[in-house]
Amino acid sequence: MNVEDFVPTLDFARKLDNEDALSGFRDEFFIKPDSIYMDGNSLGLLSKRAERALLDTIEAWKEYGIDGWTKGKQPWFFLSEKLGEMTAPLIGAAREEVIACSSTTTNLHQLIATFYKPTGSRTKILADGLNFPSDIYALKSQLQLHGHDPDAHLICVRSRDGRFIEEDDIIEAMTDDVALVILPTVLYRSGQVLDMKRLTAEAHKRNILIGFDACHSIGAIPHSFSEWDVDFAYWCNYKYLNGGPGAVGGLYVNRKHFEVSPGLAGWFGSNKEKQFDLEHTFTPAETAAAYQIGTPHVLSLAPLIGSLEMFAEAGIENIRLKSLQLTRYLMKLIEHELTDLDFVVGNPQEDSRRGGHVSLEHDEAARICKALKENGIVPDFRAPNIIRLAPVALYNTFEEVWKVVQVLKVIMSEKQYEKFANERDIVA
């Protein structure tokens, strides 16, 4: 059965679930009874394997103490490299091009410090006006550290409609004074997937390096970073990859840049054979591991061991296929049930341009999100008017998607949202 054979019934949703090849992975997760979790694009759910991996790591600490760095099932000294190898298939990279380390923004600072080399008139950084604020903060601070005024040297490509960014507009902004381009793979509000292959090729035609923030795509869509010749990328591991709150992030560096010294050097970026020589001359690793800074947060790395095992078994192409089916089904239900209630779908309709969530717009979005929570559904709010709903391939079902839309219909018909203030909570 195909989502395109759409019928707006619970029976149709259940038939889709019965034919779902990934349905068995739902049992791997801790699913709260009488609750529907649609916020996996902000924080993924805990899996039983992730819990086991964390407990195994704690047990190794208990058993080995400091010897846990080199003993046990997953010696900590090599854990970041191991997780980089496990992550590499999700982004289309060689294992030595990927490392699990630091946080998203710290990794961005590292990559800008490494690859932003302003020379002559080529001093500007190109970004987009819809990017997540933390990226913009980092870019501005790096420009200031180089003695440049962010107002003059950070170019932010504007959206034509407040939702999407046109690749043509980005390419037009790749002028001779641009030294570096930083863009998201997926826009965090609208879920638009940028054409990374095309943008990389156009940047390189102009001798501009380009990197991507993959926070809202890794674990939801396939990438081919090495094939596309992307220079670098960075991401968090707590959204679709279910690594847990504050999970250690990750970065990718194209092998052609391995000889570039890290802009921010630290002892865990050392060649492993030299690291404990404790010399004051830094000898970097000959892989992406060189861009680590400090000692890895082992307990925040551990859950990824179990999580990434599941991704290897499920296959990112299969995950993408089901994700597209879930979001397509959700959009069809919204069109059938909610269009007369002032809801607007604010994400791309085309599969090739849509990430892992549906961006549902409404003037009362903040209040509606609170009403959804009162009804046992966990959504995500983004100011000023967006309800993000992320049906995640490994643990959400088509029946859950159907129920979410029915609840939304009841909330609106009964005006349940009116009891709440139309403003976000502290954490949106």
pLDDT above 70 as % of the chain: 100
Please tell me whether 234 is known to bind a ligand.
Answer: no
Does 213 count as an annotated binding residue? yes
pLDDT band at 427 (very low <50, low <70, confident <90, very high): confident
Helices (H), 270-345: 272-275, 298-314, 316-337
Residue type, 313: E
Which residues make up the CATH 3.90.1150.10 domain(s) of the chain?
3-30+315-419
Q: Is 132 annotated as a binding residue?
A: yes
Contact 241, 307 (CB under 8 A): yes
**217-233 pLDDT tens trace:** 999 999 999 999 999 99
Query: If you classify domain 3-30+315-419 with CATH, what class do you get?
Result: alpha beta
| 52-313 carries CATH number 3.30.530.20 | no
**Residue 261 labelled as part of a binding site:** no
277 assigned binding-site residue: no
Q: What secondary structure does DSSP assign to 332-350, as a single string? A: HHHHHHTGGGT-EE-S-SS
**First CA to last CA distance, the chain:** 36
Tell me if 104 is assigned to a ligand binding site: yes
Query: 375: pLDDT confidence band, cut at 50, 70 and 90?
Result: very high
41-52: burial string, b at 16+ Cβ within 10 Å, e else: bbbbbbbebbee
Query: Would you place residue 139 in the very low, low, confident or very high pLDDT band (cuts 50, 70, 90)?
Result: very high
The pLDDT, as a whole number, for residue 56 is: 97
> Among residues of the chain, what percentage have pLDDT more than 90?
97
Q: Where in the chain is the domain with CATH 3.40.640.10?
A: 52-313
Q: What is the mean pLDDT of residues 264-271?
A: 97
Is 133 within any annotated ligand binding site? yes
174-196 confidence digits (pLDDT tens):
999 999 999 999 999 999 999 99
pLDDT tens track for 59-72: 999 999 999 999 99
**Which residues does residue 189 pair with via DSSP β-bridges, in sequence order?**
none
